[in-house]
Chains A and B, each alone.
Chain A
Amino acid sequence: MAFQISLKINGNGHDVELEDARPTLLDVLRERIGLTGTKKGCDRGQCGACTVLIDGRRVNSCLSLAVSLDGAEVTTVEGLSDGDTLHPVQAAFIENDGFQCGYCTPGQIMSAVGFLGETGGDASAEAVREGMSGNLCRCGAYAGIQDAVLDAQARMSKGGKT
């Protein structure tokens, strides 16, 4: 059974033809739309590399059936910056050494954007570590990631763009 779905991805409308109901949002983004910023780590909800925002909420795209999301708005790491102006979370990751190899980074950044939207802008370091626990980093860049999220929180509460 074939399905036609439409998704708004990073502000652009996409009509996607699915041969059957099996593809996850992750596979649609990477294989059909060509947005390879979103990474596949475990494909099982265990690592967070595939984190994107669906209707503004962070989720694991590897455990979401694309067909179920017909009509949804999706934001991936490619959709965060405003032209050459980085999103405050992206800028903070660069300045705080929030990564080493970079494989987990798009997921970390999308998760941080989602997390900062969930809190009142006053998350402690411990709350950041807990809130970001759904994103594993094989390089162990956790200290930098924590600092980047705290820095991004401070930048965003000042209303700063970067």
Chain B
Amino acid sequence: MKAFDYQRPETIAEAIKAASKPGASYYAGGTNLLDLMKVGVRTPDSLIDITRLDDLKRIEPQKDGSLRIGALVRNSDLARNVDILSDYPAIAEALLSGASGQLRNSATVGGNLMQQPRCAYFYDPHSACNLHEVGEGCDALEGENGKHAVLGWTKTCIAVHPSDFCVPLAAMGARVVVDGPDGSREISIDEFYTLPGSVQPPGSALKQGEIITAIILPSDAKRFAPRARYIKLRDRTSYAFAIVSAAAMLHIGDGRIKDARIALGGVAANPWRAREAEDTLNGAEANEASFKKAADAALADAKPSGDNAHKIELARRILVRALKAAADGTPPKMPDLPGSVFAVGKEAR
């Protein structure tokens, strides 16, 4: 690993100042950054350790009914939080379906949002990858790309965003609060991630030195709490990234769907909000035919970026399954296999 300077600021202002220098990088749980530094894909000149910024460790209900989650809250603590479990259960399910018990104890909310793609060519400093340097090219186009994007990709980059947590965040329209050299601002999760363009690889709206301070879960998303699920298809039952996943949230009244929220994971460089699919459900009956129609709408624009056409049909089916599971109701207790297709199957039986 390349040597680097290390600073541990005591205040957010000091952290921003230190991180504003080119080559500086924030260090939170370290579970993604250190991994990338070990393989030599990330070579920061300095690490700004934000783990002692206690102001960023709180989960606070706001006056307007929303919930503010500090960027340094650990994934496992968030998944156990009583407000999350009662008001935003799909967030807890998504978190618990990700990584392992150990990693969730280290991983922070901010680090989870900012985690990098798991594309094998990105992880190899000797492969061509536009995320190493713009213009390098993309070895995944002609390589192992079975898990790559089917929505929103260009030949600049076909990688997917690997986070589970971000999928229900996208579905409910969470907001990301950032602070930086030019002051603080709020960014909707829709605008936080940028899709690849004709030259520019995917990324985030953060500028050098900007720090995520919190995520805000909107109060109007609480009405989905009785019917909110996150379902994730993996190569193995646990401790694996999503091949495809779906967050589905339904608000049902008088036998009709009054409001639906849908986002897909593992399909694009962002957590993919499927608004067209949501629209097909508004006013519809909560049944399989409606869900299939919604899934067709969600994947209407999908196209394989390589050897991955199967992901389109998998995504459709996972979405139908997530919608069915949501319609059946949020389980009273977190399933023993959170987000698992097997857990859902068992309940349905």
Contact = CB atoms under 8 A, between A and B. Distances in A.
Nearest to B340: A130
B111 to A, nearest CB: 11
Contact of A57 (B31, B34, B47, B105): B105
A45 B103 contact: yes
B238 A60 contact: no
A132 B239 CA distance: 10
B6 A21 contact: yes
Interface residues of B, number: 30
Interface stretch (B59-67, B94-102, B140-148, B193-201): B94-102
A24 interface: yes
Given A127-B336, A131-B101, A134-B239, A118 B30 contact: no
B160 to A, nearest CB: 19
A63 B101 contact: no
B35 A44 contact: yes
Contact of B35 (A1, A63, A118): A63
Contacts of B3: 20-22
B105 A59 contact: yes
Given A60-B106, A115-B101, A21 B4 contact: yes
A126 interface: yes
Given A3-B6, A60-B106, A111 B101 contact: yes
A124 B343 CA distance: 13
Contacts, number: 94
B6 A60 contact: no
Most central of A51, A63, A64, A131 by chain B CB within 10 Å: A63
A86 B76 CA distance: 28
Interface string A1-21: 101000000000000000011
Contact of B99 (A20, A21, A64, A134): A134
B155 interface: no
Nearest to B334: A127
Nearest to A124: B336
B102 A60 contact: yes
B258 interface: no
B296 interface: no
A65 interface: yes
Contacts of B106: 59-60, 63-64
Interface string B1-41: 10111101000000000000000000101110011001000
B10 to A, nearest CB: 13
Nearest to A22: B1
B101 A1 contact: no
Contact of A126 (B27, B99, B101, B337): B337
B51 interface: yes
B49 interface: yes
A155 interface: no
29 contacts: A1-B6, A24-B34, A43-B38, A45-B103, A51-B102, A57-B76, A58-B101, A59-B106, A60-B31, A60-B106, A63-B103, A64-B30, A64-B34, A64-B106, A65-B47, A67-B6, A67-B49, A68-B51, A114-B102, A114-B105, A124-B336, A126-B336, A127-B336, A129-B237, A130-B237, A130-B336, A132-B101, A134-B101, A134-B239
Interface of B: 1, 3-6, 8, 27, 29-31, 34-35, 38, 47, 49, 51, 76, 99-103, 105-106, 237-239, 336-338
Interface of A: 1, 3, 20-22, 24, 43-45, 48, 51, 57-60, 63-65, 67-68, 111, 114-115, 118, 124, 126-127, 129-135
